[in-house]
């Protein structure tokens, strides 16, 4: 199922997937690295669009991985129920890449790079994932999705003064999965008077704790930099959380409930990149560790 940003079902999909887990490294695949767009790049592009009051359109390459050309010689069994009549015992030799192959993402990006270079574009060494709408439609089967309203699960709302990025639905999902119906709220993410330390006793629901940390890290990275400090602090104890760590975690979840609609709002000014950094001096009195941080903003909100 393909889901919409609000959690409802968009469409039902089915695809043929090869058993890539059976591939042997050095025989059926070699390098598998493929770059992906940095979240910083996405925020920067949207911030520039807000500053200049531009429209942002998005495109979707249909069955992107199937465009990649294979360099290795790979065979696969015919899918059950789809064998060619009279040739049931024969194998298929792959001409193009297929979902499930370990090198599929790499081969797709290689094909993408070739098209970009052949059309006169230069590779951005900081982020290699860039394309132009009309040029790409001439080479790949693409769907014009119109004005961008959701990118990587991030909801984009155009306001009178700019663009608002949020993941309120994702916050609801976190609270539904982990908050156990607690409807109380907290107006700040952390109690600064509480000093956390390593757990010397028995761990408390370690798997659930690590799942929450992972979910919060994704939210923090996308649209909620206000969570960065406390998530970083709590993640230090993922391997052996105590009841005190859980107490801080539940406070953070209650803060999420209070701020579910928070996000990043990029406005018309300031039209300059501003950077801030700071560090405290030995905030952890037991381990003599300090904490440092930085933020770069454009249009009044964080881009990195």
Q: What is the 3-state secondary structure (H, E, C) of 202-261?
A: CCCCHHHHHHHHHHHHHHHHHCCHHHHHHHHHHHCCCCCCCHHHHHHHHHHHHHHHHCCC
Say whether pLDDT at 41 is over 70.
yes
Average pLDDT over residues 150-156: 88
Q: How far apart are CA 186 and CA 190, in angstroms?
A: 9
Helices (H), 25-120: 39-51, 104-118
What is the pLDDT at residue 136? 60
What would the two tokens of residue 269 be? 């000014």
Residues 24, 82: one domain?
yes
Q: Which residue has the higher pLDDT, 10 or 154?
A: 154
Residue 158, domain member (yes or no): no
Residue 13, domain member (yes or no): yes
Domain count, the chain: 2
- Say how many Å lie between the first and final Cα of the chain, rounded: 32
Range of the domain at 111: 2-152
Among 127, 152, 177, the domain-final residue is 152
Average pLDDT over residues 90-109: 90
171, 138 Cβ separation under 8 angstroms: no
Residues 129, 25: one domain?
yes
Please, how many CA atoms are within 13 Å of residue 125, restricted to the half-sphere of its CB?
0
Average pLDDT over residues 71-75: 89
Sign of CA dihedral 79, 81, 84, 87: positive
Q: How far apart are CA 67 and CA 96, in angstroms?
A: 7
Average pLDDT over residues 268-279: 90
Report the 10 Å Cβ neighbour count for 264.
Answer: 23
Residue 187, domain member (yes or no): yes
What is the pLDDT at residue 133? 56
Residues 81, 180: one domain?
no
Residues 11, 68: one domain?
yes
Enumerate residues 6+ apart whose C-beta is below 8 A from 270. 298, 299, 300
Q: What is the DSSP string of 1-36?
A: -EEPTTS-EEE--------GGGPPBTTTB-------
**Mean pLDDT in the chain?**
86
111-117 — which CB contacts under 8 Å span 24+ positions? 111/67, 111/68, 111/69, 112/67, 115/139, 115/140
108, 34 Cβ separation under 8 angstroms: yes
Residues 177, 287: one domain?
yes
The lowest-confidence range among 153-157, 165-169, 290-294 is: 290-294
What is the pLDDT at residue 171? 93
Say whether pLDDT at 129 is over 90.
no
Q: 27 pLDDT band (50/70/90 cuts)?
A: confident
Residue 225, domain member (yes or no): yes
Among 152, 182, 213, the domain-final residue is 152
Residue 162, domain member (yes or no): no
Residue 157, domain member (yes or no): no
Residues 141, 104: one domain?
yes
Enumerate residues 6+ apart whose C-beta is below 8 A from 298. 44, 47, 48, 51, 266, 270, 271, 272, 273, 274
Average pLDDT over residues 71-93: 87
Among 102, 121, 152, the domain-final residue is 152
Q: pLDDT tens digits, residue range 207-229?
A: 999 999 999 999 999 999 999 99
Say whether pLDDT at 276 is over 80.
yes
Q: How far apart are CA 229 and CA 290, in angstroms?
A: 12
Residues 134, 202: one domain?
no
What's the CA angle centered on 229, arms 228 and 233, to 5 degrees? 115
Residues 145, 42: one domain?
yes
Residue 239, domain member (yes or no): yes
Residues 130, 215: one domain?
no
Residues 246, 211: one domain?
yes
Residues 195, 56: one domain?
no
Say whether pLDDT at 187 is over 80.
yes
Average pLDDT over residues 195-200: 82
Tokens 């025989």 — which residue?
27
Q: pLDDT tens digits, residue range 166-184?
A: 999 999 999 998 877 677 8
What is the pLDDT at residue 13? 85
Residues 172, 225: one domain?
yes
Residue 161, domain member (yes or no): no
Enumerate residues 6+ apart whose C-beta is below 8 A from 31. 103, 106
Q: Which residue has the higher pLDDT, 159 or 6?
A: 159
Residue 151, H or E segment: strand 150-151
């Amino acid at each position: 199922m393909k889901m919409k940003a609000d959690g409802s079902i968009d469409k039902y999909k089915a695809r043929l997937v090869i058993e890539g887990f059976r591939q042997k490294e050095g025989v059926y695949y070699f390098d598998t690295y493929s770059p992906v767009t940095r979240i910083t790049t996405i925020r920067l592009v949207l911030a520039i669009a807000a500053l200049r009051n531009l429209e942002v359109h998005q495109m979707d390459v249909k069955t992107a991985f199937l465009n990649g050309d294979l360099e290795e010689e790979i065979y696969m069994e015919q899918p059950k129920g789809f064998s060619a009549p009279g040739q049931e015992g024969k194998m298929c030799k792959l001409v193009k890449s297929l979902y499930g192959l370990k090198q599929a993402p790499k081969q797709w990006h290689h094909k993408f790079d070739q098209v970009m270079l052949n059309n006169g574009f230069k590779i951005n060494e900081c982020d290699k994932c860039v394309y132009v709408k009309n040029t790409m439609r001439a080479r790949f089967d693409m769907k014009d999705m119109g004005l961008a309203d959701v990118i990587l699960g991030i909801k984009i709302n155009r306001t009178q003064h700019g663009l608002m990025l949020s993941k309120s639905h994702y916050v609801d999902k976190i609270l539904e999965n982990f908050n156990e119906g607690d409807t109380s709220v907290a107006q700040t993410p952390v109690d600064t008077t509480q000093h956390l330390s390593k757990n010397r006793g028995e761990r408390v629901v370690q798997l659930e704790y690590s799942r929450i940390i992972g979910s919060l890290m994704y939210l923090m990275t996308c649209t909620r930099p206000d969570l960065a400090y406390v998530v970083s602090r709590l993640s230090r104890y993922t391997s052996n959380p105590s009841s005190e760590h859980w107490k801080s975690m539940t406070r953070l979840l209650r803060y999420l409930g209070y701020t579910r609609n928070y996000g990043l709002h990029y406005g018309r000014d300031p039209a300059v990149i501003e950077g801030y950094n700071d560090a405290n001096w030995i905030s952890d009195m037991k381990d003599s560790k300090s904490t440092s941080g930085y933020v770069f903003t454009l249009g009044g909100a964080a881009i990195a």
